[in-house]
Amino acid sequence: MTHLYNTKWSAEVECEECHTDFNGFSDPLHIGDNPDGIAEINFGPLAHDTINGPIRPNPVWDRNIATCSSVYCHGTFKMGNINATGVWTNASSVFCGRCHGDNNPVTQNPTPRDSNGVFVPPHFSFMTINSCYVCHGTVINSQGMFVDKSKHVNGDVDF
Ligand code: HEC
Ligand code: HEC
Ligand code: HEC
């Protein structure tokens, strides 16, 4: 599962990042007195993170379309794709370039842009997945493989 074991993009995401603040088994945010069989989603600090700047995530889980939107983790930050969503039941809805970058499933270039699609220095249009390591070498290598997933989607820009 993308978020828990064998994660692809980050360290394991703690249960509390998506099911937070419940106080015991029958709390309404857990099962409640009148169980509806639904595990309530209440996001923790990572989804609300603001790294650097004025962009405030407003994380929302829409059960009908099984989609999270306006979460920090999927691009709601300064050079992220603030409209990016993640479909819970479709792991391929998320790819390099989806949360930050060209948002194009074919090219999948992750070079960050601002919300108008403009490359923001020190990022330029000639950069590819093989350039990031020059400055973000604690996170990624020259082949574009993560060297330390725990530093990716962790709420800090590591460079
Ligand atoms: C990245 C967010 C995320 C994380 C992390 C996460 N969950 Fe969930 N969980 C969900 C979503 C989304 C659902 C589906 C909710 C719905 O049906 O509306 C869910 C559903 C559930 C359910 C209901 C059964 C089911 O399969 O639908 C249980 C129980 C549950 N989670 C427990 C956990 C536990 C325990 C952990 C930690 C080991 C955890 N979750 C971590 C998002 C998460
Ligand atoms: C020339 C050095 C350099 C290269 C190469 C570089 N970055 Fe960065 N990147 C930075 C610096 C410095 C920051 C912090 C800028 C800031 O906080 O304003 C940053 C910030 C970021 C951020 C966070 C943006 C935000 O909203 O705060 C992301 C995402 C990112 N880089 C991804 C990438 C990716 C993906 C690549 C490869 C395609 C890449 N970077 C290549 C230097 C670089
Ligand atoms: C699920 C959304 C998501 C996907 C998919 C994603 N990123 Fe990121 N990426 C982030 C977030 C959020 C940050 C902001 C900094 C942080 O929290 O680490 C980030 C930051 C970065 C950075 C800056 C260094 C840092 O601090 O992490 C690099 C480099 C980077 N991503 C490369 C990639 C590459 C390469 C891929 C594809 C293999 C990729 N990203 C896919 C969410 C994503």
| Cβ–ligand 3 contact at 18 (below 6 Å) | no
Residue with tokens 């790819």: 95
Q: Tell me, what's the pLDDT at 54?
A: 85
Task: Give the tokens for residue 78.
Answer: 């300064």
Cβ–Cβ contacts within 10 Å for residue 40, how many? 18
Ligand lying closest to the C-alpha of residue 148: 3
Q: Tell me, what's the pLDDT at 80?
A: 93
Q: Tell me, what's the pLDDT at 1?
A: 56
Contact predicate 78/51, CB 8 Å: yes
For ligand 2, atom 14, name the residue with the nearest CA. Answer: 157
Question: How far, in Å, from the CA of 64 to the mean position of ligand 3?
Answer: 27
The amino acid sitting at 38 is I
Mean pLDDT for each 10-residue chunk of the chain (159 residues)?
78 87 61 64 91 89 93 93 90 91 94 88 95 97 95 94
CA pair distance 133, 113, nearest whole angstrom: 17
Q: Kindly list the protein residues whose Cβ atom lies closer than 6 A to any atom of ligand 2.
A: 51-52, 77-80, 100, 110-112, 122-123, 127, 129, 131-132, 134-136, 157, 159
| The model's pTM | 0.93
For ligand 1, atom 33, name the residue with the nearest CA. Answer: 15
| Cβ–ligand 3 contact at 84 (below 6 Å) | no
Contact predicate 40/19, CB 8 Å: yes
Q: Tell me, what's the pLDDT at 33?
A: 56
Q: Tell me, what's the pLDDT at 96?
A: 94
My answer on whether omega of the bond before 35 falls inside 30° of 0, hence cis, is no
Ligand lying closest to the C-alpha of residue 144: 3
